[in-house]
Amino acid sequence: MSVAATTHSHPAPRTSLRQHVRRAVGLDLNPLCRPVDRTYSRLVAALALTVLATLVVALVAALLVFGAGTHTAQQVVRHRHVVTAVTTGPAQSDDLREGSPRAHAPARWTYPAGPGGGTIPVPDGTPAGTAVVVGLNDAGNPVGAPKEVAGILSDAALVGLGTVFVLGLAAEGGFALCRHRLEQRAEDGWGSAWEQVEPGWSGRR
């Protein structure tokens, strides 16, 4: 009875980032390392640095957006004054569909800068003569409430993630293009070398 031979496949060893860095700076003394291998390692190391730089830029951008949003909210709070206005007409829905929670109504109010009036946001269905709390700036004009911290954090996160996506996509595209050119160069070099070696290896002159 014959015994079937079993073969075990071993995955090809992968070059770690540390090995790529050593090869890129010329510390890999392996005699089988080709110039094209060193160039590829430099490409991998450059991609790693680009990814790190992208994360730093995204973090800085997010912090700047958060700082600017926080400053704007603080300025709104500092110059926003809450008064009671009285609507002078019925609320008009902001949406053509009935039952929309967003609506505006004409209103009048009194402020140290003098009496004022304008259109203010109110719940849909608010009748005329309703007292509504409204925020005014130093000039007595209606202003919205300052953005909450959650909204500022959301804006900062979107900017950070967008920066990572755009710069990361550009880096990956550049890496893929350079790798394709490098592989094409290696293939062309292998073909030229084989044309010189093949006649002597095969015995054909």
Banded model confidence at residue 41, pLDDT cuts 50, 70, 90 = confident
Tens digits of residue pLDDT in 100-151: 567 899 999 988 777 888 888 888 888 999 999 999 988 888 888 899 999 9
pLDDT at residue 99 in the model: 52
The predicted model scores a pTM of: 0.66
Listed in order, strand segments (DSSP E) in the chain are: 81-87, 92-93, 102-111, 114-123, 131-136
Burial 40-61 (b: 16+ CB within 10 A, else e): bbbbbbebeebbeebeeebeeb
Tens digits of residue pLDDT in 73-100: 999 999 999 999 999 999 888 765 555 5
Residue with tokens 């430099």: 42
pLDDT at residue 138 in the model: 86
Tens digits of residue pLDDT in 141-182: 888 889 999 999 999 999 999 999 999 999 988 888 888 888
